[in-house]
Amino acid sequence: MKFYKDHYDVIVIGGALAGLSSALMLAEKGKDVLVLERHNLPGGIATSFVRGGIEIEAALHEMMSIGPEGNRLKVGKFLEDMGVQIDWLKVPEAYHASLPGLEVTLHPGLETFAKEVDAEVPGTYEKVLKLLNLCHTVFDSVNELSIHPMSKVQMLLKHEAFVKTAGYSTQEVIDTFDLPQKAQDLLAPYWIYVGTGFRTLPFTIFAVLMADYIGYGSYIPHKFSHEMSLKMAERAEAMGVQIEYRQHVDKILVKDGKVYGVRTARGDEIHADYVISAAYPNKVYTSMIEPLSEVPKKAIKMVNGRRLSLTAFSVIMILDKSAEELGIHDYSVFRGDTMDTEALYQDLAGLGPYRYLTCICHNYANPDATPEGTCSFSITTLPRVDGWKTVSADDYDRVKHEVAKQMIDDMSKYYGVNLLDHVLEIVIETPMTVAHYTGMWNGCIYGYAHTMEDHIVARLQTAEEEKFIEGLEFAGAHQISGDGMGPAVTNGRKAAKNVLDDMKKKEAAK
Ligand SMILES: Cc1cc2nc3c(=O)[nH]c(=O)nc-3n(C[C@H](O)[C@H](O)[C@H](O)COP(=O)(O)OP(=O)(O)OC[C@H]3O[C@@H](n4cnc5c(N)ncnc54)[C@H](O)[C@@H]3O)c2cc1C
């Protein structure tokens, strides 16, 4: 029997969250789909590994866009609609902010959050709530407009707050609320999840981030992020998708400006009408298209014009005592020596010492995360790709251990306990680990940076012009919705929708 069929409707390169979301949606519409994944298991960054008999989350701190049972947000709803049943656990707090002069734990719920900020910075309740409500209004508009595009006039009539704030940076909008610096600092910790300083970050992005995480809270799967990818892959196969592991796609085959298939590293040439790529456009347009002469100059110009967002450096530990015994009291701690996001963004260009850390103790959302009497604790920073590109192979081990030591020392000082004395297992993930494991361009986990010139609103307007090769779509953190696991799912759906729309158009033209 032949390994591959003669022809597929769609080939998806990469069996992680984005690619699997595309596959699920296409299979639901009866399309013949092949997923090629270079690893021996699905998930990409949404994975876990085992050390000393303990399963350890590789990446996920918290998922956005899940929402509570009975009122699921778009990612939670999509997974349910596709028949992917995830055992979601609610994260108990928004975050603990450990900033100069501030040690505050804040909880989700717009009013709760505003009250807690007010308790720390009296007299700010009304203003903070008004700002959060504005975020929520913009969030609702973005969700509606991403499904129902409308004319500018209609948009102005129906989505006034969205239109009025769309051209402004986060800092410009926050400034209009005249909030004391301390209150502004308490609103800022999540900035690292979108990775741009507030003077350059479009307010729309901040609004979506805050309304989603603060308005509805965040979630994690009971069996780690790999629960999502494994169940998505299982469901996709049950719906007829062919998934082949250990199949690295080397080339995307193009003729006369149109995709006709792929070639794997093993030499198989497989044919399809459409290809959806998880590999970054940078990689695709510079080395995967065959022949390279099919790549229009505009495509190269586009990838060169975009700024890569952040990568990750994470120290993940299993500790030999419970969190309470070690004095770790929160699920999530954001700790910095300033909350000046521009200064922190500059700091992320280097190789440390890093001034802004985000720590997670999974046991507070998931008591089963580790065996009784132990806990998991990770310390993460999200550097820019620039600095890490300068590390030579000879220096790599030294730099990696120095950075990890700095982060562990910082948090040991904070908790007043030497975390290194309690390590049962420790794993250090660097930008190189991410690049090596997923193939992501420069190890970038968040795609392209959101800036005032290039963000979701602008990208929606230029999306059509950026289709340089017929039948080629992209699905990954590098697409319109941007960073993170939730947006990766949304991006995967969008790629599938583009394919389905094009199929319909061609069918109608016959
Ligand atoms: C330490 C860390 C913490 C994070 N925390 C969070 C968090 O708390 N919340 C959140 O939302 N996000 C978080 N993220 C970011 C998030 O993990 C990513 O944005 C998201 O998982 C990207 O998903 P993806 O589907 O785009 O791609 P990836 O997960 O990068 O997967 C790409 C897939 O494509 C495959 N592939 C690539 N090229 C080829 C090829 N040529 N042939 C075959 N297969 C190929 C890869 O093997 C991989 O499986 C974190 C990331 C890290 C590293």
Identify the residue whose tokens are 């297992």: 425
Q: Could you tell me if 425 and 488 lie in one domain?
A: no
DSSP state of 467: -
Q: Could you tell me if 292 and 382 lie in one domain?
A: no
Please name the residues in contact with 492: beta carbons below 8 A apart, sequence gap of 6 or more: 17, 18, 19, 20, 21, 22, 25, 276, 475, 476
State residue 1's pLDDT score.
Answer: 58
Average the pLDDT over each of 119-123, 270-274, 328-332, 438-442 and give the range with the smallest value.
438-442
Residues 192-227 as b/e (b if ≥16 CB within 10 A, e otherwise) read bbbbbbbebbbbbbbbbbbbbbbbbbbbbbebbbbb
Over pLDDT 90: what percentage of the chain? 91
Q: Could you tell me if 320 and 420 lie in one domain?
A: yes
Q: For 328-348, what is each residue's pLDDT tens digit?
A: 999 999 999 999 999 999 999
CB 289 within 8 A of CB 295: yes
Q: Could you tell me if 56 and 175 lie in one domain?
A: no
Please tell me the distance between residue 282's alpha carbon and the centre of ligand 1 in angstroms: 16
Q: Could you tell me if 209 and 290 lie in one domain?
A: no
Please tell me the distance between residue 344's alpha carbon and the centre of ligand 1 in angstroms: 24
Please tell me the distance between residue 81's alpha carbon and the centre of ligand 1 in angstroms: 23
Q: Could you tell me if 380 and 399 lie in one domain?
A: yes
Partners of 381 in the beta sheet? 313
Q: Could you tell me if 393 and 315 lie in one domain?
A: yes
Cα 287 to Cα 19, 58, 252, 265, 280, distances in angstroms: 20, 29, 9, 13, 11
In a domain, 251, yes or no: yes
Beta-carbon count within 10 A of 443 CB:
25
Q: Whose Cα sits closest to atom 4 in ligand 1?
A: 59
Q: Could you tell me if 132 and 43 lie in one domain?
A: no
Identify the residue whose tokens are 């209009």: 176
- 36 sits in which H/E element: strand 33-36
Domain termination residue (choose one: 438, 472, 487): 438
Asked if residue 35 has pLDDT above 90, the reply is yes
Q: Could you tell me if 408 and 483 lie in one domain?
A: no
Domain termination residue (choose one: 201, 216, 231): 216
Q: For 144-176, what is each residue's pLDDT tens digit?
A: 887 777 787 888 889 999 999 999 999 999 999
Please tell me the distance between residue 179's alpha carbon and the centre of ligand 1 in angstroms: 37
Q: For 227-247, what is each residue's pLDDT tens digit?
A: 999 999 999 999 999 999 999
Which atom of ligand 1 is found nearest the CA of 491?
26
Partners of 277 in the beta sheet? 13, 474
Please tell me the distance between residue 61's alpha carbon and the centre of ligand 1 in angstroms: 13
CATH code where residue 236 lies: 3.50.50.60
β-pair type (356-360, 54-57): unpaired
Ranges of beta strands (E only) in 73-200 are 88-90, 95-99, 102-106
Angle at 352 between CA 200 and CA 438, to 5 degrees: 75
Which atom of ligand 1 is found nearest the CA of 15?
49
Q: Whose Cα sits closest to atom 2 in ligand 1?
A: 59
Question: What is the rounded (10 degree) CA torsion for 466, 470, 476, 480?
Answer: 30
Rounded CA separation 421/222 (Å): 28
Confidence of residue 430 (pLDDT cuts 50, 70, 90): very high
3-state secondary structure of 297: helix
In a domain, 443, yes or no: no
**Pocket of ligand 1, beta carbon within 6 A:** 13-18, 36-39, 44-46, 59-63, 248-249, 278-279, 312, 314, 380, 429, 434, 438-440, 445-446, 476-477, 483-486, 488
Rounded CA separation 203/450 (Å): 10
State residue 483's pLDDT score.
Answer: 81
Q: Name the token pair of 39.
A: 């690893």
Please tell me the distance between residue 17's alpha carbon and the centre of ligand 1 in angstroms: 7
Q: Whose Cα sits closest to atom 34 in ligand 1?
A: 14
DSSP state of 307: P
Q: Could you tell me if 342 and 358 lie in one domain?
A: yes
Averaged confidence pLDDT in the chain:
95
Q: Which residue type sits at 334?
A: F
Partners of 334 in the beta sheet? 97, 358
Which own/partner contact pairs does 289-295 have at CB distance under 8 Å and 24+ positions apart? 289/251, 289/252, 289/254, 289/469, 290/251, 290/252, 290/253, 290/254, 290/263, 291/254, 294/254, 294/255, 294/257, 294/469, 295/468, 295/469
Q: Which residue type sits at 255?
A: K
Which atom of ligand 1 is found nearest the CA of 39?
47
Q: Whose Cα sits closest to atom 31 in ligand 1?
A: 44
DSSP codes of every residue in 318-350: EESS-HHHHT---SEEEEES---HHHHHHHTTS
Q: Whose Cα sits closest to atom 3 in ligand 1?
A: 59
Q: Which residue type sits at 217?
A: G
Identify the residue whose tokens are 């992320």: 348
In a domain, 135, yes or no: yes
Q: What is the mean pLDDT of residues 439-464?
A: 87
Q: Whose Cα sits closest to atom 52 in ligand 1?
A: 59
Phi, psi of 217 (to 5 degrees): 80, 170
Q: For 76-126, what is each residue's pLDDT tens digit?
A: 999 999 999 999 999 999 999 999 999 999 999 999 999 999 999 999 999
Please tell me the distance between residue 384's alpha carbon and the centre of ligand 1 in angstroms: 16
Closest CA to 355 of 377, 383, 314: 383
Please tell me the distance between residue 94's alpha carbon and the centre of ligand 1 in angstroms: 23
Identify the residue whose tokens are 């990954």: 476
Q: Name the token pair of 289.
A: 């298209």
Domain termination residue (choose one: 382, 411, 438): 438
Confidence of residue 133 (pLDDT cuts 50, 70, 90): very high
- 217 sits in which H/E element: none
Partners of 416 in the beta sheet? none
Phi, psi of 473 (to 5 degrees): -120, 160
Please tell me the distance between residue 223's alpha carbon and the centre of ligand 1 in angstroms: 18
In a domain, 232, yes or no: yes
Ligand 1 mutation target, pool 485, 489, 490, most atoms within 8 A of CB: 485
Please tell me the distance between residue 46's alpha carbon and the centre of ligand 1 in angstroms: 6
Please tell me the distance between residue 246's alpha carbon and the centre of ligand 1 in angstroms: 17
Which atom of ligand 1 is found nearest the CA of 378?
1
Which atom of ligand 1 is found nearest the CA of 313?
1
- 427 sits in which H/E element: strand 423-429
In a domain, 207, yes or no: yes
In a domain, 239, yes or no: yes
In a domain, 50, yes or no: yes
Number of domains composing the chain: 3
Ligand 1 mutation target, pool 309, 433, 445, 493, most atoms within 8 A of CB: 445
Beta-carbon count within 10 A of 190 CB:
20
DSSP codes of every residue in 443-454: G-SS-BPP-SSS
Ligand 1 mutation target, pool 226, 314, 438, most atoms within 8 A of CB: 438
Which atom of ligand 1 is found nearest the CA of 42?
49
Range of the domain at 180: 92-216
Please tell me the distance between residue 164's alpha carbon and the centre of ligand 1 in angstroms: 34
Please tell me the distance between residue 415's alpha carbon and the centre of ligand 1 in angstroms: 31
pTM: 0.97
Please tell me the distance between residue 337's alpha carbon and the centre of ligand 1 in angstroms: 29
Ligand 1 mutation target, pool 45, 227, 444, most atoms within 8 A of CB: 45
Which atom of ligand 1 is found nearest the CA of 476?
26
In a domain, 198, yes or no: yes
Q: Could you tell me if 181 and 145 lie in one domain?
A: yes
Average the pLDDT over each of 317-331, 417-431, 478-492 and give the range with the smallest value.
478-492
Rounded CA separation 33/492 (Å): 14
Q: Could you tell me if 320 and 382 lie in one domain?
A: yes
Q: What is the mean pLDDT of residues 123-130?
A: 98
